């Protein structure tokens, strides 16, 4: 049986903390930073990217791979936002011209600027590039970087659903932890005190209405809001959930955009 609790750790290589320190050192004037993602990224992508950047004489740059999101971070010391955007356009053009079926997704910003070079900001940028559905280059700005991210506990036995929700919620700036079953979730709620519990209705062990009631009984400074995300569509079940104090009920399959709005409403 899989481990009952999966705690979302900082990326194994601590790449965002290291990158944030390098950006702070390089951003006395300005420093462009971009994250590049390609689905099914070929192994030679980093070397090809290095060749493209080295083609411009005197260009100072640094490439930092992020194995967790399969992105490449590119630092461009001394670049304004306009100059970094121009480099991103060149990179995109050269990759599409020289590599078959490559469709790069790029998110960029410049420091100092609208956002601070914090590890959480850089993590959001990487996930923004990976989750982007548009081939347009994305400029990462202050509204996209939450200063005080909320805490969300994801409870679902489906690995794919949990991974999707984790990445999607991180893109919105939230902190997350994950649990596979109700018992593990209750333990995490007591220790971590999340703002929101986003949970499947059917779980291993304790689930459904007993699970919801147990959350309500926990002695916490503030009881977390509960959002049920499930394939259960029975009207009576939905009614009982609301009578037991849940904040919202979303059925699978769900619209990610609609779920984003439902989650934001929990924090408003």
What CATH number does the domain containing 236 carry? Answer: 3.40.50.2300
Digit-coded pLDDT (tens) for 167-189: 989 887 888 999 999 999 999 99
In a domain, 7, yes or no: no
Q: Are residues 91 and 209 in the same domain?
A: no
What CATH number does the domain containing 126 carry? Answer: 3.30.70.270
**Contact yes or no for 131/62 (Cβ under 8 A):** no
Q: Are residues 138 and 158 in the same domain?
A: no
Instruction: Provide CB contacts within 8 A for 174, sequence distance 6+.
Output: 146, 149, 150, 151, 152, 263
Q: Are residues 230 and 187 in the same domain?
A: yes
Confidence at residue 238, expressed as pLDDT on a 0 to 100 scale: 92
3-state secondary structure of 72: strand
- C-alpha to C-alpha distances, 169 to 148, 161, 190, nearest whole angstrom: 14, 12, 21
Confidence at residue 264, expressed as pLDDT on a 0 to 100 scale: 87
How far is CA 244 from its chain centroid? Answer: 30
Q: Are residues 232 and 161 in the same domain?
A: yes
Q: Are residues 91 and 192 in the same domain?
A: no
Q: Are residues 108 and 178 in the same domain?
A: no
Question: Residue 133: pLDDT above 80?
Answer: no
The more confident residue out of 42 and 183 is 183
Confidence at residue 9, expressed as pLDDT on a 0 to 100 scale: 39
Confidence at residue 1, expressed as pLDDT on a 0 to 100 scale: 37
Band of pLDDT at residue 148, cut at 50, 70 and 90: low
Single out the residue in 93, 119, 144 at which a domain terminates. 144
The more confident residue out of 188 and 145 is 188
Beta strands (DSSP E) in the chain are 5-6, 31-37, 62-66, 71-77, 105-111, 138-139, 151-155, 175-179, 196-199, 225-230, 248-251
Q: Is 53 left (phi over 0), alpha (psi -120 to 50) or beta?
A: alpha
Single out the residue in 93, 114, 144 at which a domain terminates. 144
Domain that residue 242 falls in: 151-267
């Amino acid at each position: 049986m899989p481990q009952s609790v999966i705690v979302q750790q900082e990326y194994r290589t601590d790449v965002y903390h290291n990158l944030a320190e390098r950006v702070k050192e390089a951003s006395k004037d300005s420093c462009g930073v971009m994250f590049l993602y390609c689905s099914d990224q070929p192994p030679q992508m980093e070397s090809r990217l290095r060749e493209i950047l080295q083609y411009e004489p005197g260009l100072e740059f640094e490439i930092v791979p992020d194995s967790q999101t399969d992105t490449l971070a590119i630092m461009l010391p001394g670049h304004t936002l306009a100059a970094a955007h121009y480099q991103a356009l060149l990179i995109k053009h050269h990759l599409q011209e020289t590599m078959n079926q490559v469709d790069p997704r790029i998110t960029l910003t410049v420091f100092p600027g609208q956002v601070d070079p914090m590890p959480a900001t850089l993590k959001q940028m990487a996930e923004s590039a990976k989750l982007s559905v548009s081939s347009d280059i994305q400029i990462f700005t202050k509204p996209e970087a939450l200063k005080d991210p909320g805490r969300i506990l994801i409870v679902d036995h489906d690995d794919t659903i949990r991974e999707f929700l984790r990445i999607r919620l991180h893109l919105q700036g939230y902190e997350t932890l994950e649990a596979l079953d109700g018992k593990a979730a209750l333990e995490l709620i007591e220790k971590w005190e999340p703002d929101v519990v986003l949970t499947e209705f059917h779980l291993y062990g304790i689930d459904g209405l007993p699970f919801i009631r147990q959350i309500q009984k926990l002695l916490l400074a503030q009881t977390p809001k509960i959002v049920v995300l499930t394939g259960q569509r029975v009207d009576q079940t939905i009614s009982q959930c609301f009578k037991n104090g849940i904040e919202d009920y979303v059925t699978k399959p769900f619209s990610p955009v609609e779920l984003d709005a439902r989650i934001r409403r929990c924090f408003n």
